[in-house]
Amino acid sequence: MTVTFAPSARSSVGLEWELMLADGTTGDLVPRAPEVLELVEDATALERYTVTGELLTNTIEVTSGVGDTVAAAVDDIADAIGKVREVTNPREIELLCAGSHPFAQWYKQSVTDKTRYNKLIDRTQWWGRNMMIWGIHVHVGVEDVAKVLPIVNALSVYLPHLQALSASSPFWAGERTGYASNRALVFQQLPTAGLPWPLETWPQFESYLEDMVRTGVMEDVSEVRWDIRPAPRWGTIEVRACDGMSTLPELAAVASLLQVLVEHFSRELDEGRTLPTIQPWFVRENKWRAARYGLDARVIVDRDGTQRPVAEHLRETIELLRPIAVELHCEREFGGLERILSQGASYARQLLVADAASGDLSEVVRHLIREFRAGPTLRDHLAALTR
């Protein structure tokens, strides 16, 4: 099977952000995406961004155009949210984002009536109906198809770092799970989701797809749902490992880290160097550790099995790659990573709110709504970094 990898500008950025729709009074999820989408359809038809539906009718997804910089892509996302607000505010629909909703129940949710979603639920049954998960997808352009799989494998070393920064699903259906990212472990139950297979060349990826299509596991490349995957249609590497980010500045920070990592690895390949990888069993263990412990995890960082606190290793990586962030004009967004490390990721903030409210998870939802609506805008956040 031949799979064409589309031309793409090197290290360009595209963002997708899945958002929950909640009742303004109760905080529970509401199945009003079809209504919202119909109302914004004409107003957004000619914009760079898109507003679309997802698996469940309680969710919309806002997607940027292709950005030369992270800031350009984030501006698209902000414009999309502003347009959605014009519709949701007067209807008392609130927007929020996290990897999971703290107390919503799967059996109360409805599936979007599309063939692809109906087929997914028919095949996956209980696990598919339990996909009450929200995430971000970050696309980074790669100009040479020969680089794609080596960079995917190198990014797998940093998968726990990305999961820890974005972890925002400590609750599931009203229960405190003990995990920073319960979403990470739920999502991998889908048959074509989870960690990427350690393939080394594009022909190996094409062979994998041929096997999967021939045996009826999937119909086409769009059904590869790996945590880090090639996106041939766009000419990008797409990272899907992250929980939904709860604020726009945090989305910008994680997107900048990914842009800088991909550019760093691309330069290493240009110089003829072999990219760092670790054994697949280490990658799997790291994913579990980050899901369980978030930014308190100790992760395996090399083939010798060296273990480091993920926050400490992240800070070293940030310092190493900061010059590339400057060159890519995302140094201010990149600076937001330190803010997450010092002030805590979303899962930690949610747990603090729950503890202060004696376990009342409706307060956690209100906290998430406030963060999304009244938390620092990206402009305010970036201004604070320069003070």
Sign of torsion, CA 7 325 47 60? positive
Angle between helices 145-155 and 202-214 (to 10 degrees): 80
Which alpha helices (H) appear in 8-69, and where do they start and end?
A: 33-44
Residue 111, exposed/middle/buried by CB under 10 A (0-12, 13-18, 19+)? middle
CB 165, CB 246: distance < 8 Å: no
Cα–Cα distance between 139 and 117 in angstroms, integer? Answer: 23
Which alpha helices (H) appear in the chain, and where do they start and end?
A: 33-44, 70-88, 115-129, 145-155, 159-166, 182-187, 202-214, 248-270, 280-293, 310-327, 331-343, 346-356, 361-374, 378-385
Q: What are the pLDDT digits (tens) for 261-320? A: 999 999 999 999 999 999 999 999 999 999 999 999 999 999 999 999 999 999 999 999
pLDDT, position 129: 87
Query: Between the CA atoms of 109, 366, 83 and 9, what dihedral angle is there, to the nearest 10 degrees?
Result: -80
Q: What are the pLDDT digits (tens) for 142-196? A: 999 999 999 999 999 999 999 999 999 999 999 999 999 999 999 999 989 999 9
CB 57, CB 109: distance < 8 Å: yes
The arithmetic mean of pLDDT across residues 100-116, rounded, is 93
Helix (H, G, I), strand (E, B) or coil at 181: strand
What angle is formed at CA 142 by the lines to CA 377 and CA 251, rounded to 5 degrees? 15
Sign of torsion, CA 71 77 81 84? positive
Label residue 101 left, alpha or beta by phi (over 0 means left) and psi (-120 to 50 means alpha): beta
The answer, yes or no, to whether residue 383 has pLDDT greater than 70, is: no
What angle is formed at CA 368 by the lines to CA 375 and CA 229, rounded to 5 degrees? 95
Q: At 260, is the pLDDT very low, low, confident or very high (cuts 50, 70, 90)?
A: very high
The arithmetic mean of pLDDT across residues 26-44, rounded, is 97
Identify the CA nearest to 186 among candidates 151, 225, 237, 223.
225
State the DSSP string of 313-382. Answer: HHHHHHHHHHHHHHHTT-HHHHHHHHHHHHH--HHHHHHHHHHHTTT-HHHHHHHHHHHHHHS--HHHHH
Cα–Cα distance between 149 and 147 in angstroms, integer? Answer: 6
Assigned token pair, 55:
């698996």
Q: What does pTM read for this prediction?
A: 0.95
Q: What are phi and psi of 12, to 5 degrees?
A: -70, 165
Measured from the Cβ of residue 118, the count of other Cβ atoms closer than 10 Å reads: 12
In the chain, the domains with their CATH numbers are 13-385 (3.30.590.20)
The arithmetic mean of pLDDT across residues 19-31, rounded, is 97
pLDDT, position 375: 54
Cα–Cα distance between 220 and 116 in angstroms, integer? Answer: 12
Identify the CA nearest to 195 among candidates 128, 281, 295.
281
Segment among 25-34, 83-92, 229-238, 373-382 with least mean pLDDT: 373-382
pLDDT, position 387: 46
